[in-house]
Chains A and B, each alone.
Chain A
């Protein structure tokens, strides 16, 4: 049954990849080396941030500045080429209680809340992409540090002896105009989502990136046949170009944990 599910999934991916390749970015994206769309650039912050604006008053003059949350909370499901997604992964019965336990105590157990590395795919789309002839580099800004990923695109395979890591061992290839990144060999101590979404060391993450006009589209699939009933197709993100340059993230010093008086989930009031 598992084989059938994954074969079906694989076929779906290939079919959609072809469809996207035929559709996406053909008219708007400049091309690196003439053969593929150029994804290089600085992209809007896609991490989740407070839905707050800043109200400033100077000499009686009031101004309000909001942050752009579209890369995280915009609805990108209607963008051409996206694959049908679900908001949550589907866990096998043997893991559901553990996921619930982690979620119920999220504020005390989520490594990310305590300056831990989010890993892939939780970190989301990159803030900056540098696309070169034989490799593409993703840069991120994150409170845990500012990770980068060097993704070979010269046809090489995954490294046999790579050590497990938070961001995995990645290789990239083009399927039409879609850049496909295959990452594996992850450490086990990251979550793939904030609601206790655990994974096994067998996890594999497929990220797809393509241009939609001047914007970037990112969508990831999590395959983990150990804990999931089926691959989790994550909701897509539509990311605008950004003029805000990357900046070194200040050190992370978490002090709130010791002050928590209850286990309230962050969504609770």
Chain B
């Protein structure tokens, strides 16, 4: 079941990363609506552990009852490796229900940037701004 709602009317810190030389792949606002944080609950279908962003695919039921095919990109594999997460930590939930929070593409497609994922066992992983922790 799709559970999509605006969580915060604030400028979210989207942490786009990519290249050898520049952590910011592009301006987040060039793709994503930074003023809305969304939450999507659905079935994890696929985990692509690729550069410059990992990508997860999930199916979630929309308000109209149809299945929406969502894709969420997130930080690159090297970043996840450095914080101790591997593809297997996400892939173990394929076929099960997860919840993803993030920001959605401005073009209205079912595409977003994942900032938080909640796995079936209750474990959650969230990208937080390092500067805000200091």
Contact = CB atoms under 8 A, between A and B. Distances in A.
Given A115-B52, A260-B26, A56 B124 contact: yes
A118 B51 CA distance: 15
B27 A48 contact: no
Contact of A53 (B51, B52, B122, B128): B128
A67 interface: yes
Contact of B51 (A49, A52, A250, A262): A250
Interface in A238-269: 244, 247, 249-256, 259-269
A59 interface: yes
B31 A53 contact: no
Interface stretch (A29-37, A86-94, A138-146, A180-188): A138-146
Contacts of A244: 81-82
B31 A252 contact: no
A113 B25 contact: yes
B84 interface: yes
Given A124-B20, A266-B22, A57 B123 contact: yes
A58 B122 contact: yes
A119 to B, nearest CB: 9
Contact of A52 (B22, B50, B129): B129
Interface in A38-80: 45, 47-59, 64-68
Contacts of B77: 249-250
Given A56-B124, A113-B26, A256-B73, A118 B130 contact: no
Contacts of A141: 78
Nearest to A257: B26
Contacts of A68: 82
Those 8 A-B pairs whose CB atoms lie nearest each other, nearest first:
A264-B27, A266-B24, A143-B51, A107-B26, A54-B83, A252-B51, A50-B17, A50-B15
Interface of B: 11, 15-31, 34, 48-53, 55, 73, 75-85, 105-107, 111, 122-131, 133
